[in-house]
Amino acid sequence: MKRKRLTRRDFGRVAGLAGLGVAGGVLLPGARGTAHADTFEPEFPRPVFKVTGSTDPGLDAFNQAMSRFMQDRNISAGSLAVSRNGKLVLARGYSFSRNLHFTVEPTALFRLASVSKPITAAAVLKLVQAGKLSLDDKLTDRLTLTPPPGKTADARLGNVTVR
């Protein structure tokens, strides 16, 4: 039997129906977590916004901005560091979660995935534009790369360019 290829439109319809099924459990009268005429019993507690780390009292606007930003987008974890004249003036961890034990410290590590690639590309192109770097420069001419102890560098590394 030959299977029909699933298109994006078909997937959207199926996902939408699944979403209605999930929402139906919450929206149907009598389901836990629904608003009744005289009572409201939430299924989960409200998310709590917590802040950790040190700051200068004059920098409370950063905390308010992070609180608004995270709550508006339902972001559960974040951190922020602000420096001025080479001195760290704010290092905070932020959490917005129903789990009261979940806390983010200012030193928490986050996976960035590919978020930093466009920023790196813009910085490299700015250096090229300023004449401080060429896309054809060999990486090994610009960086001192040493392999880990007991390992040898890949011979192809000398062929890698900034491009």
Give the tokens for residue 17: 């129906």
Q: Is the pLDDT of residue 123 over 60?
A: yes
Q: Report CA-CA distances (Å) from 20 to 32, 43, 71.
A: 17, 18, 24
pLDDT of residue 68: 92
> pTM of the prediction?
0.48
78 forms beta bridges with 94
Q: What is the mean pLDDT of residues 5-17?
A: 53
Q: Which of helix, strand or coil describes residue 50? A: strand
Tokens of 24: 């139906």
pLDDT band at 4 (very low <50, low <70, confident <90, very high): low
Q: What whole-number distance in Å separates Cα of residue 88 and Cα of residue 105? A: 16
The arithmetic mean of pLDDT across residues 115-123, rounded, is 90
Residue 70's SS3 state is helix
CA 28 to chain centre: 34
What does the pLDDT read at residue 18?
42
Residues in a beta bridge with 82: 90
Q: Which of 117, 118, 137 is nearest to 128 (CA)?
A: 137
> Rounded to the nearest 5 degrees, what angle is found at the Cα of 30, between the Cα atoms of 29 and 34?
75
Q: Cα–Cα distance between 19 and 72 in angstroms, integer? A: 21
| pLDDT recorded at residue 31 | 39
